[in-house]
Structure 1
Amino acid sequence: MSILKINRIISKDILLKFLRHFISYLFTIFLLVSLVFILLRLAPGDPVQRFVSPELSSALAEEVRKSFGLDRPVIEQYFIFIRNIFTGDFGISYNFRSPVWTVIMNSLPFTVIFSFISFILQIIISLWMVVIVSKRRAGFIDRILSKLSVAFYAIPTMIIGIVLIYLFAFTFNLLPSSDLQSVNSEDFNIFERFFDYTSHMILPLITLSLPGILVFYNYLRSNIESSYNKNYVLFLKANGTPEKIIFWRHVLPNSLGPLVSVLGAELGILLGGALITETIFSLPGMGRLTVSAILTRDYPLVAGCAFVSGIFVLAANFLADIVKIKFDNRLRVESY
């Protein structure tokens, strides 16, 4: 069989795998928005009561309900809801009185930038920790980091954020506790404003990044330990290859490949799940917007936020699949 024919078979196989993943992602999105619709309808309360005073007539309440489309049967609301979601029409936000896409796009850029910075910090710091520890494997620092990583990963993000605020904002008064900038930031020059933004982002970035750093460290540390036990590493050591060359050229590159799946999942979680951090620190992102929409029963906005978050999670995992297939030739001929 010619090489050209083999490449065609492999390319076709990869295309079929991507197609199956794409179909499964569409089904996942369908289940997500359906679950959002059900949970919103089962939750107590009525969004109409937020806009109508009890002293006004019931006819006015029914008119508001009709304008929201809540006077129709639930099953009809569901089919309209699904149709609008997959056509990109999320409707008008009850609270902002603006199209849902407009409201989301006002908050989405901050969350994307915030999550991306956190993601880069997680990769850099975890790699730095692994490089430091690799020089003395099973040493004191390695044992301490391994135990601390398990302990910190088990602590909820909310607790980490609250503890950091208590220590650095209230106890030592070193960093601001909330918001993206100071009240009088408009009077600052460009350098003072940059410092102000940076100081406000330190605690949120630590809160969001710390669990991911520990996950990456543990996973990469385990991969490196496994790589050191491989035959090719033992062969290189037997031939007198310097330890630095073994680590940088052979052990570390082969340990990074399996980490791609974890990186893709973590990036999706960051983009779709920063709501706790943004809520704790009052940051103007998708997380805070989602929580506000849920508490005020803004059905269209909740659906839009859930849909966008789900898309980011699935897109990050899909990107991780592409990277894995690109750099691991074994996956080109193996089925999932």
Structure 2
Amino acid sequence: MWAYILKRLLLMIPTLFGILLITFVVIQFVPGGPVEQMVAQLQGRDTGGEGAAVAGAGYRGRQGVDAQRIEEIRQLYGFDKPAHERFFQMLGQFARFDLGQSFFHHKAVWELIKEKLPVSISLGLWTFFLSYSISIPLGIAKAVRAGTRFDTVTSLIVLVGYAIPGFVLGVALLVIFGGQLQWFPLRGLTSSNWHELSLGAKIVDYLWHITLPVTASVLGAFAVTTMLTKNAFLEEIRKQYVLTARAKGLTERRVLWKHVFRNALIPIVTGFPAAFIGAFFAGSLLIETLFSLDGLGLLSYESVMRRDYPVVLGTLYLFTLIGLVTKLISDLCYVWVDPRVKFD
């Protein structure tokens, strides 16, 4: 197993390199970079991140800004160096876990991530625990009652929920419960006077704000886990050892929870690490943007729109590394749950 772990760790290096290289190359051809945006600001106009360079003629907004000033701006953002030199300089920083400095926030990327992480963790924890605490019992109930009306109706409900994108549901929730009925706030994680509230009032205010974003995030996560749980239990229930346990006179409850439960949960438990980390870093971009939650998803969106390349590449490097490590942990969980699994 140690040889397998070492091999996977070594494979992470070319994977990270390839992802960063492709992203860096794409960035070189994206118009409206930080230099062009700064030139537009000096001219008293805003490009909105959509400026473009004219081949062979410098920047399109160059009129009114002398060449020396443009060269100073290029040096300020490090664009006076060749692309390959900037790329390997970035790799050297990432190897030291130095994610660089934001162009527009004027803060270290690490500091920005630390500021935004609590919001994403809050949304991710609620999404993860609610989806699993409902999906697993529901999947077991569906397996035990397979083919009944309960199974059919619940399958229809979870599949309809899965078919509705989270951001579409979020828009509907905002319009109905936030706009028309005004039962819930339209934006933010807490009220503006949150620090002045008592402890109980703070908890109520937080839950009041988080209800709509969590609902939009959770609904689509039910279907996969529910159906996976149901199918895993059905497969185990039909095996010979279950028939043997029933023939020995064991109660259906004991057969289900003592014999079937452990084996059926193997594919679900091994997916815990990826689902847990994914709840923080995946799928939150649209929800955070829609509900104006100042988390990592909104930070990534704003960084792409403003061409804040250190934040884009720094967060990409960090999230990719976390994803690769999480995938390795998920694979190792197979051995932890079922010792019969061998990597060779």
Give the TM-score taking structure 2 as reference length. Answer: 0.87
Deviation at 1:17, TM superposition (A): 1.1
Instruction: Describe how 1:11-160 pairs up with structure 2 within 5 A.
Output: 14-52=1-39, 53-54=42-43, 55-160=64-169
Q: What is the CA deviation profile of residues 280-331 of structure 1, one whole-angstrom value per residue up to 9, with x for unaligned ones?
A: 1111211111111110000101111112222232232222222221121122
Distance 2:292 2:101 in 1: 24
What's 1:276 paired with?
A: 286
Q: Is it true that 1:217 corresponds to 2:230 in the alignment?
A: no
Q: Which one-letter code corresponds to 2:107 in the other structure?
A: S
Distance 1:295 1:195 in 2: 34
Query: Given that residues 168 and 174 in structure 1 are in contact (C-alpha distance below 8 angstroms), is that contact kept between their aligned partners in structure 2?
Result: yes
Distance 2:161 2:29 in 1: 35
What's 1:11 paired with?
A: none
Instruction: Indicate the percent of aligned positions where both proteins have the same amino acid.
Output: 26
Instruction: Describe how 1:118-267 pairs up with structure 2 within 5 A.
Output: 118-267=127-276
The count of residues paired between Structure 1 and Structure 2 equals: 321
Deviation at 1:77, TM superposition (A): 1.8
- The alpha-carbon distance between structure 1 residues 334 and 101, as it changes in their structure 2 partners (threshold 3 A), is closer
Q: Is it true that 1:293 corresponds to 2:280 in the alignment?
A: no
Distance 1:111 1:26 in 2: 27
Distance 2:12 2:195 in 1: 44
Q: Which moved more, 1:261-270 or 1:313-322?
A: 261-270
Q: What is the CA deviation profile of residues 244-300 of structure 1, one whole-angstrom value per residue up to 9, with x for unaligned ones?
A: 111111112111111234333323432321222211111121111111111000010
What's 2:51 paired with?
A: none
Query: Given that residues 268 and 315 in structure 1 are in contact (C-alpha distance below 8 angstroms), is that contact kept between their aligned partners in structure 2?
Result: no
Deviation at 1:42, TM superposition (A): 2.1
Deviation at 1:199, TM superposition (A): 1.0
Distance 1:82 1:268 in 2: 24
- The alpha-carbon distance between structure 1 residues 318 and 117, as it changes in their structure 2 partners (threshold 3 A), is farther
Deviation at 1:116, TM superposition (A): 2.6
Aligned to 1:176, the other structure's residue is in SS state coil
Query: Given that residues 4 and 343 in structure 2 are in contact (C-alpha distance below 8 angstroms), is that contact kept between their aligned partners in structure 1?
Result: no
Q: Is it true that 1:307 corresponds to 2:317 in the alignment?
A: yes
Q: Can you give the 5+ residue segments of structure 2 that lack an aligned partner in the other structure?
A: 44-63
Query: Given that residues 275 and 286 in structure 1 are in contact (C-alpha distance below 8 angstroms), is that contact kept between their aligned partners in structure 2?
Result: yes
Q: What is the CA deviation profile of residues 167-208 of structure 1, one whole-angstrom value per residue up to 9, with x for unaligned ones?
A: 321233222222111233343222111111111111111222
Query: Given that residues 111 and 285 in structure 1 are in contact (C-alpha distance below 8 angstroms), is that contact kept between their aligned partners in structure 2?
Result: yes
CA RMSD of aligned residues (A): 1.9
Structure with greater helix share of residues: 1
- The alpha-carbon distance between structure 1 residues 314 and 207, as it changes in their structure 2 partners (threshold 3 A), is farther
Distance 1:281 1:82 in 2: 35
Distance 2:274 2:105 in 1: 32
Query: Given that residues 268 and 317 in structure 1 are in contact (C-alpha distance below 8 angstroms), is that contact kept between their aligned partners in structure 2?
Result: no
Q: What is the CA deviation profile of residues 7-58 of structure 1, one whole-angstrom value per residue up to 9, with x for unaligned ones?
A: xxxxxxx101111221222332222222221222222212113333134433
Aligned to 2:253, the other structure's residue is in SS state helix
Q: Which one-letter code corresponds to 2:272 in the other structure?
A: L
What's 1:325 paired with?
A: 335
Distance 2:100 2:274 in 1: 30
Q: Which one-letter code corresponds to 2:37 in the other structure?
A: R
